[in-house]
Structure 1
Amino acid sequence: MHKPVQWGILGAAKFARQFMGPAIHAASGARLAALATSDPAKAEPFQDFCPDLKVFDDYEALLASPEIEAVYIPLPNHLHVEWSLKALDAGKHVLCEKPITMRAEEFDALIHKRDQTGLLAAEAYMIVHHPQWQHVRDLIADGAIGDLAHVTGAFSFDNRTDTGNIRNRAETGGGGLRDIGVYVIGSARFATGQEPDTVQSAIRWEDGIDAFTEIRAQFPGFTYSAYVSIRMHPHQEMVFHGERGLIRLTAPFNARVFGEARVELHRPGLEVLVTRFPADDHYKLQVEAFYWSVRAGDEYPCPLEFSRGTQAMIDRVFDGATPL
């Protein structure tokens, strides 16, 4: 085992406090060493589970610390590219929350800087690290459902009362598509290895953000339909429907939080085989994959090029959408 990667977090975001901070702290090959926040009170919950955490009062000071090797960036969407580039310039590996960019072409600067510095830079697209998605990809590739005919996806929650949330603010890159559309789109791309030929969409706008988005697409060999909303009852599901079977994921995106991760394989004769994943933590697995890439040179499961493909499809959804 190599020495642990020394991590810092830029900003005391709620998501970092509840999920990624504890995951970094718990992961093998990682040490949560520092947090940057201008409000000392926001650091206290992090220090509850990580008492030796060093707290910086600004982001630049953390990036200047020679102790820190990698940074996790949970800032508002519109700040992701700026601070990812600053971190790479400071010699730090980067794991940045999704969406790491607002448009696909913004990936080019990140990919160039990654290659120039030789550092690891990646979007925190945690689901590809979960074994349920690796299982689904293998099932499809092995022909467990025959030829794939159609994929459906859904992801929704309701945060209309949380008016201060960055997801409800257009100026911070809010809306449902960037926040959760990456899951219904990226997971289909990951599981099938395919890119869409055509994309159609419709969006219901609300104060400058997309509150509901419906997507239809044609991939090579199969059709696709999905919706995302931040104004509907919580729900998530992905279904891969083949000519001789069907794969259904019951908690595809928030495993353990939304419910137990289960992959159902529906086969002829109404037979259903269920594979359960009750304990896997995809946030922790993501940090551990990052460690093996940094320390041992292993291929990272979610490179920037993959994330760029998801953003390119999101761009097509936005650009071609009809209003609802």
Structure 2
Amino acid sequence: MANPTPIRWGILGAANFALGAMAPAIHAARGAELVAVASSAAAKVAPFQAFSPATRYVESYEALLADPGIDAVYIPLPNHLHVEWAGKALRAGKHVLCEKPIAMKAAEIDDLIALRDETGKLISEAFMIVHHPQWARVRALLQDGAIGELRHVSAEFTYMNDDMGDIRNRPETGGGGLRDVGVYTFGSVRHATGAEPIRLAHTKAETVNGVDTYSYNVFDFDGFSLSSLVSTRMGRRQSLRFHGADGEIALPSPFNPGLFAQSEVHLIRPDKTVLSERFNGMDQYVLQVEAFGAAIRGQAEWPWPLEKAKGTQAMIDDAIASLDAAVSGT
């Protein structure tokens, strides 16, 4: 079978994460080609050109969106700009992969859904974990009843970032741990179980400079609960455990497999024997880009539509509202 015509990608902004993760993934992915990066200065694009020499510097976001030689755009801009530029990209006829969270509020996603349906273009939050095979394995184990009735899920994602100049520590750019990594502790559980929360039962939180730096939330689902801890003022930790009536499923590196720790899924039986499966050599960012191209070509169904992103954002909205109340004492 002949190789498909590559999806030609442009990137809005020379963000560090784009340089370190997504641009190399686009460059490495089958059926994808990085053709342009828009930035305020050509010098910011030079590091992209070091590994992708054919990548062009474009002087503005508007010019990149107007380029007929670009099929899809990746948006790594600060959180508060996501909806605005995702909408502009759709109106310009581009497919859109936007960093998480794709919106500041769940209700904002409705406008993007309407634009998606109007334009017929693929748009998604860049929730890369759903493309990693360890999560396909977790979903299968849960669906097969490998741990019996699910009763509780515990999820943690913490790291240290006390740089007050960082956009993740600024309220005006949509900073805070919940928006940065709460999407993982919340969204991964929804993805794995296919279930939606019934209510937010408990919150304990701390803020610095108007953004959450510690947020512990308990959500009730039908039949099980979720305890989620996210923090930007603690040592690096990632952990996720599904606790069932007949055992547990544990992931030592649920969100950055192969980077934070080895990608493994452990099935822990009642007699404490452990069945471990390892997933080596998988780059979830490359897998995401390849899956995006396959969805554009109609070769595969896209696993994380905007409706799913909206469900996670609703949980983040609830947690932030509860956080505000907890911090103010109301």
* CA–CA distance in structure 1, aligned partners of residues 220 and 55 of structure 2: 49
> Which amino acid in structure 2 is aligned with residue 178 of structure 1?
R
* CA–CA distance in structure 2, aligned partners of residues 34 and 40 of structure 1: 11
Structure 2 partner of 1:123: 125
CA-CA distance at 1:297 after TM superposition: 4.9
Deviations 1:196-251, CA, capped at 9 Å, x for gaps: 11103222011100000000011001111111000000000000000001000000
Alignment of 1:144-183 (within 5 A): 144-160=146-162, 162-183=163-184
Alignment of 1:18-37 (within 5 A): 18-37=20-39
Say yes or no: does 1:140 pair with 2:148: no
Greater CA drift, 236-245 or 295-304:
295-304
Structure 1 partner of 2:86: 84
SS across alignment from 1:270: coil
Structure 2 partner of 1:192: 193
Say yes or no: does 1:224 pair with 2:226: yes
> Which amino acid in structure 2 is aligned with residue 225 of structure 1?
S
Deviations 1:83-114, CA, capped at 9 Å, x for gaps: 00000000000000000000000000000000
> Which amino acid in structure 2 is aligned with residue 166 of structure 1?
I
SS across alignment from 1:301: coil
Structure 1 partner of 2:62: 60
* CA–CA distance in structure 1, aligned partners of residues 260 and 43 of structure 2: 29
Deviations 1:270-297, CA, capped at 9 Å, x for gaps: 1101111121111000001100110125
Deviations 1:280-318, CA, capped at 9 Å, x for gaps: 111000001100110125210110000000001111111
The percentage of aligned residue pairs carrying the same residue is 54
SS across alignment from 2:77: coil
Structure 2 partner of 1:292: 294
* CA–CA distance in structure 2, aligned partners of residues 275 and 44 of structure 1: 40
* CA–CA distance in structure 2, aligned partners of residues 223 and 78 of structure 1: 31
Q: Which sections of structure 1, spanning at least 5 residues, go unmatched?
A: none
**Runs of at least 4 residues off by over 6 Å:** none
For the aligned residues, what is the CA RMSD?
Answer: 0.9
> Which amino acid in structure 1 is aligned with residue 14 of structure 2?
A
Determine which of 219, 243, 248 is the counterpart of 2:250: 248
> Which amino acid in structure 2 is aligned with residue 239 of structure 1?
R
* CA–CA distance in structure 2, aligned partners of residues 36 and 236 of structure 1: 33
Count of residue correspondences? 323
